[in-house]
Amino acid sequence: MRRLPPVAVQIGIGLTAAALVWAIGSFALDRAGTKPGTVLHGFQPTTANAASPLRQEPPADMVWIPGGEFSMGCADPRGQPFGGPDPMRDARPIHRAYVDGFWMDRTEVTNDRFAEFVAATGYVTVAERPPRPEDFPGASPENLVPGSLVFTPPAGPVPLTNHYVWWNYVAGANWRHPTGPDSSLEGRGDDPVVQVAYEDATAFAAWSGKRLPTEAEWEFAARGGLAGGLYPWGNAFRPAGRFMANTWQGGFPLENTAADGHAAASPVGTFPANAYGLHDMSGNVWEWCSDWYRSDTYSTALAAGKPDRNPSGPADSFDPQEPHEKKRVLRGGSFLCSEEYCARYIVGTRGKGEPSSGCNHIGFRCVKPR
Ligand SMILES: [Ca+2]
Ligand SMILES: [Ca+2]
């Protein structure tokens, strides 16, 4: 259910205290290699389909992703440079999956493009609608105002185990005003649209004749043909010192040095594309996928004993960290992800979000079948 104050969003996704203890306790069990450039265990080569979309004109601003069979998931990133403290157990076991070829947006959907959709349809996003009292029994009337979640750095040092302290429900925050009523899209037409709930993203996709990617499609595309790469471009976070993605540098959540040039979202395509021509598959803003999130999706897939063909995710959602919340998959991390916290710019890692809650670091991109 859509989050109202007090904020209860689980995005970005830190460690709960319990998970931290569990993480430390399990550290020795499946620690990954530690040298930069190490090829992580458990991956087999990607076998891309040879078939190309002959005689079909590429849809505007989309690239062809050949599909094929690949190893999906992430080895324990702890110990890897920029790997962070989280074992990311929901991204294992690494298992084989197969996806058919498809077209994919080269970039996250931009503010300008989303504005075209709204102008054409009159669509009103979830964050712009007043929360319904029947959906929030017991909520005080002053809290039933349109708004959304905004990253707000705390005043001083905080433990990284409680994300509530840096997410605030801000009245009047929505896609037109990403961080609140005083913010605007002026000069940000090429930034990714944010403050979009899952249903906003699917509404845009339907209008544009596309759909959201499945989690498997998203990961196949993000890997750019590489097997087991830590990032969409390879295994070095900053090859030759170059920033390849918009993430967070400095001590999260207080010190954002923006060494990569961007303290918040960057115009799409600012950073280099992967081998398939896709930008910002790591960082910038999170991207909605169509799958329900379950922490055990990958163990279920492996148990099937054969490559999962065009998997579309489980029939329901279960997140043991918040068992009563249904969640959809989010992928790629955002400008708020750092080595110290989140680290989900690592390509095989997984995120999750409550579908009716937008956020100022969640966006999306679309795909289209052949
Ligand atoms: Ca940045
Ligand atoms: Ca992204």
Confidence of residue 4 (pLDDT cuts 50, 70, 90): low
Using DSSP's 3-state secondary structure scheme, residue 242 falls into coil
With tokens 């080269």, the residue in question is 106
Q: How far is the CA of 110 from the centre of ligand 2 (A)?
A: 12
Q: Please list the residues that pair with 63 across neighbouring strands.
A: 104
Question: For the purposes of burial, counting CB atoms within 10 Å of the CB of 19, is it exposed (0-12), middle (13-18) or buried (19 or more)?
Answer: middle
* Span 68-92, average pLDDT: 94
Q: How far is the CA of 134 from the centre of ligand 2 (A)?
A: 34
Q: Is the pLDDT of residue 19 over 80?
A: no
CA distances in angstroms from 242 to 106, 279, 283, 336, listed in the order given: 21, 15, 15, 19
Q: How far is the CA of 37 from the centre of ligand 2 (A)?
A: 23
Question: What is the domain-level CATH number for residue 306?
Answer: 3.90.1580.10
Confidence of residue 54 (pLDDT cuts 50, 70, 90): low
Confidence of residue 17 (pLDDT cuts 50, 70, 90): very low
Q: Which ligand is nearest to the CA of 280?
A: 2
Instruction: Please give the pLDDT value at position 9.
Output: 36
| Residue 75: closest CA among 91, 57, 98 | 91
CB 112 within 8 A of CB 97: no
Question: For the purposes of burial, counting CB atoms within 10 Å of the CB of 91, is it exposed (0-12), middle (13-18) or buried (19 or more)?
Answer: buried
| Residue span of the structural domain in which 260 resides | 1-370
Q: Is the pLDDT of residue 16 over 60?
A: no
Instruction: Please give the pLDDT value at position 150.
Output: 97
Q: How far is the CA of 338 from the centre of ligand 1 (A)?
A: 9
Least confident of 103-112, 197-206, 304-313: 304-313
pLDDT digits (tens, 9 = 90+) for 213-249: 999 999 999 999 999 999 999 999 999 999 999 999 9
Instruction: Please give the pLDDT value at position 33.
Output: 31
Q: What is the DSSP string of 162-187?
A: -GGGGEEEEET-BTTBTTSTT---TT
Q: How far is the CA of 289 from the centre of ligand 1 (A)?
A: 23
Instruction: Please give the pLDDT value at position 370.
Output: 87
Q: How far is the CA of 287 from the centre of ligand 2 (A)?
A: 6
Q: What is the DSSP string of 29-60?
A: TSB---STTPPPTT----EE-----TT-PPPT
* Span 265-280, average pLDDT: 98
* Span 272-284, average pLDDT: 98
What are the helix and strand counts (H, E) for the chain? Answer: 5, 13
- DSSP code for 8: -
Q: How far is the CA of 332 from the centre of ligand 2 (A)?
A: 5
Number of domains observed in the structure of the chain: 1
Q: Which ligand is nearest to the CA of 337?
A: 1
* Span 325-338, average pLDDT: 97
Instruction: Please give the pLDDT value at position 29.
Output: 25
pLDDT digits (tens, 9 = 90+) for 350-363: 999 999 999 999 99
Q: How far is the CA of 266 from the centre of ligand 1 (A)?
A: 8
Q: How far is the CA of 287 from the centre of ligand 1 (A)?
A: 17
- DSSP code for 136: S
CB 35 within 8 A of CB 72: no
Q: Which ligand is nearest to the CA of 345?
A: 2
Q: How far is the CA of 246 from the centre of ligand 2 (A)?
A: 9
CB 194 within 8 A of CB 116: no
Q: What is the DSSP string of 278-298?
A: ---SSBSSEEEEEEEPBTTHH
Q: How far is the CA of 333 from the centre of ligand 2 (A)?
A: 6
Instruction: Please give the pLDDT value at position 184.
Output: 98
Phi, psi of 297 (to 5 degrees): -55, -40
Mean pLDDT score of the chain: 89
Q: CB atoms < 10 A from the CB of 269, how many?
A: 17
Instruction: Please give the pLDDT value at position 174.
Output: 98
Q: How far is the CA of 248 from the centre of ligand 1 (A)?
A: 5
Q: Which ligand is nearest to the CA of 286?
A: 2
Q: Which ligand is nearest to the CA of 274?
A: 2
Confidence of residue 15 (pLDDT cuts 50, 70, 90): very low
Question: Higher confidence at residue 295 or residue 58?
Answer: 295
Please name the residue ranges forming H helices in 78-191. 111-121
Q: How far is the CA of 305 from the centre of ligand 2 (A)?
A: 31
Phi, psi of 128 (to 5 degrees): -90, -10
| Residue 365: closest CA among 234, 255, 212 | 212
Instruction: Please give the pLDDT value at position 24.
Output: 25
Q: How far is the CA of 273 from the centre of ligand 2 (A)?
A: 12
